[in-house]
DNA sequence: CGAAGCCTTGATGCGCCTCAACGTACGTGG
DNA sequence: CCACGTACGTTGAGGCGCATCAAGGCTTCG
């Protein structure tokens, strides 16, 4: 667990690639460290976007809530990623909530300094916009998926995605590195926890995954990949 | 129809707000005009992103095609909007295709000059990033919609959206200003042309819309809005 | 005038949600 | 440390929303 800010450690993170150690030190001097207990909200959808953040340790769930109280998980943030960067896109409010999926450590900067910072460190600005580009593309990929693929494929894709981004090798296979429930998966894929449970039970029987309470280990990622890409029985 | 570039006319467009006439003139000097016939592709998904564009007249459909050949319409671009701005997000290739929905006139700039341009005209950069922010938010809104709402609601929302952004008042009601088919609507909402046709036939009977071949006129936008927001029979 | 594209409408079936009930692991407080 | 409450997971039965399959009418354009 991190107690002090060491520029030399943090500078290697992707958001800062291309910056000098001096620049990093100056930038870090303006940051405020932050701890977030599992389950706590770092910010809420609709709140004024006062800060942007860098996750140093943990995982964060980015969630949108509908007027009816339903939730949709927009994405997971892993350590080393920026989040809450509404200001970079000229937004006054956060478009979603950020919830700590486990105990987290992060840095925060006041949104005010975004423009000056981006101007002073073009590499940082470029990296940030690349991140945003990736997320826009990701959102549109998922839109296409939602529009054209069946639940089984979407759930398989979602799990593969999580494994790819946050997988940890274990004796059994590749484990998703944070607690994740059937309900979470259903909120990522636009289905119900029941359907997810049924699908995963099936896959467990087939030996593709091994899963327990808020825990998913993937054994046959190739087979899952086949499921993610297979067409319906017709056509 | 536009034959010459008049900085005074173009400078009032949102992408350039905050720029001086001098700056505009310099920027326009680097632009290449472009005409695109209805149905033609201005660029294709996956192609190298050599240029970014400003639509001066017409409407453009931004389309993603899946490996199976299915299409999903990501959005429509109206005149005055930028498109193809992959470079601003550090992308080497266009993430979708741009197809002229009607005969179009546009300007194009080489992607190379993006960074220098953004640095030279911060207002232009800020405006562009605001646009991108809006599109990211829009994509995520649609994701939530796809995940939580039924087809009827999504189709109603899509039509209301089109009306809001591209509606033209007529004797009958508000007409969507470009040719749009049942299939197009289905590709925006993740359903089939059959379902869209059935829904719109129903709404036509109820006097909410009036529609013909590639033509939609909305009469009762409030009633449509009710449909877009109404919950299922349960709950 | 024929062909191609767009729209409509019916019949049928299935994917997945909904409703329901129960089993099981966790953690919290007495 | 055990007992209880709560959150998570499983599995069945039933039904509905919407895709799919099918056929035909209408408009536009070459």
Q: Where are the domains of chain B?
A: 7-138, 149-229
Please give the pLDDT value at position A230.
87
Contact A128, B131 (CB under 8 A): no
Instruction: Note the pLDDT of residue B212.
Output: 92
Class of domain A149-229: mainly alpha
Q: Residue A217, CB, less than 7 Å from strand C?
A: no
H/E segment holding residue A54: strand A51-57
Tallying the residues shown for chain B, one arrives at 235
Mutate which of A69, A120, A144, A150 to test chain B, going by most B C-beta atoms within 10 A? A144
Task: Compute the distance between CA of residue B151 and CA of residue B85 in angstroms, rounded to an integer.
Answer: 31
C-alpha to C-alpha distances, B89 to A13, A104, A127, B15, nearest whole angstrom: 19, 28, 9, 16
Name the β-bridge partners of B77: B60
C-alpha distance across the termini of chain A, in Å: 53
The 10s digit of each residue's pLDDT in A175-192 is 999 999 999 999 999 999
A53, β-bridge pairs:
A83, A108
CA-closest candidate to residue B148, choices B160, B138, B140: B140
Please state, for a pLDDT cut of 70, what percent of chain B lies above it. Answer: 96
**pLDDT greater than 70 at residue A2:** no
Number of A/B CB contacts below 8 angstroms equals 105
* pLDDT above 50 for B235: no
Question: Mean pLDDT, to the nearest integer, of B12-20?
Answer: 94
In strand D, the nucleotides that come within 7 Å of a protein beta carbon are 8-12, 17-22, 27-28
**pLDDT tens for each residue of B213-228:** 999 999 999 999 999 9
pLDDT of amino acid B4: 58
pTM of the model: 0.94
Average pLDDT over residues B42-59: 97
pLDDT exceeds cutoff 60 at B234: no
pLDDT tens, residue by residue, A8-61:
778 889 999 999 989 999 999 999 999 999 999 999 999 999 999 999 999 999
What is the average per-residue pLDDT within A106-124? 96
Interface probe with A: pick from B93, B125, B139, most Cβ of A within 10 Å: B139
What is d(CA A105, CA A59) in angstroms, rounded to the nearest whole number? 9
**Which run of H or E residues covers position A64?**
strand A59-65
Of all residues in chain B, the percent with pLDDT exceeding 90 is: 92
DSSP-assigned letters across all residues of chain B: ---S--HHHHTTSGGGTT--HHHHHHHHHT-EEEEE-TT-EEE-TTSB--EEEEEEESEEEEEEE-TTS-EEEEEEEETT-EE--GGGGT-SB-SSEEEESS-EEEEEEEGGGHHHHHHH-HHHHHHHHHHHHHHHHHHHHHHHHHHH--HHHHHHHHHHHHHHHHEEE-SSSEEESS---HHHHHHHHTS-HHHHHHHHHHHHHTTSEEEETTEEEES-HHHHHHHHHPPPS--
Considering CB atoms only, which of B89, B135, B146 is closest to A129? B89
Verify whether the Cβ–Cβ distance A190 to B147 is below 8 Å.
Answer: yes
Look at A3 and B148; give whichever has higher pLDDT.
B148
A195 Cβ nearer than 7 Å to chain C strand? yes
Please identify which residue in the block is written with the tokens 């190379």.
B112
As a rounded value in angstroms, the CA-to-C1' distance for B182 and C7 is 8
pLDDT tens digit string along B130-147?
999 999 999 999 999 999
The answer to whether B132 contacts A137, with C-beta atoms less than 8 Å apart, is no
Confidence of residue B9 (pLDDT cuts 50, 70, 90): confident
Surface-to-core class of residue A213, CB atoms within 10 Å of its CB (0-12 exposed, 13-18 middle, 19+ buried): exposed
Q: Do A96 and B142 touch (CB under 8 A)?
A: no
Instruction: Flag whether pLDDT at B154 surpasses 70.
Output: yes
A148 contacts B68? CB cut-off 8 A: yes
Q: Give me chain B's average pLDDT, please.
A: 94
Query: Is residue A155 scored above 90 in pLDDT?
Result: yes
The dotted CATH code for B7-138 is 2.60.120.10
Nucleotides of strand C within 7 Å of the protein's CB atoms: 6-11, 15-20, 25-26
CATH superfamily of A7-136: Jelly Rolls (2.60.120.10)
- Confirm if A82 and A52 have CB atoms less than 8 A apart: yes
């Amino acid at each position: 667990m991190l107690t002090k800010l060491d520029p030399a450690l943090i500078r290697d993170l992707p958001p800062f690639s291309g910056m000098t150690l001096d620049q990093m030190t100056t930038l870090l001097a303006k940051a405020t460290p932050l701890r977030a207990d599992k389950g706590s909200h770092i910010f809420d959808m609709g709140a004024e976007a006062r800060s942007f953040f860098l996750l140093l340790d943990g995982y964060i769930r980015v969630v949108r809530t509908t007027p009816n109280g339903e939730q949709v998980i927009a994405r997971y943030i892993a350590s080393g990623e920026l989040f809450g960067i509404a200001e970079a896109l000229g937004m006054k409010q956060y478009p979603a909530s950020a919830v700590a999926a486990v105990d987290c450590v992060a840095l925060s900067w006041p949104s005010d300094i975004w423009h000056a910072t981006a101007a002073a460190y073009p590499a940082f600005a470029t990296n940030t916009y690349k991140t945003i580009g990736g997320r826009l593309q990701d959102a549109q990929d998922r839109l296409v998926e939602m529009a054209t693929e069946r639940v089984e494929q979407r759930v398989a894709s979602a799990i593969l995605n999580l494994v790819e981004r946050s997988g940890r090798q274990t004796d059994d296979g590749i484990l998703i590195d944070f607690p994740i429930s059937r309900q979470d998966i259903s909120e990522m894929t636009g289905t119900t926890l029941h359907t997810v449970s049924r699908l995963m039970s099936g896959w467990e029987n087939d030996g593709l995954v091994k899963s327990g309470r808020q825990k998913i280990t993937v054994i046959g990622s190739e087979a899952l990949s086949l499921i993610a890409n297979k067409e319906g029985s017709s056509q």
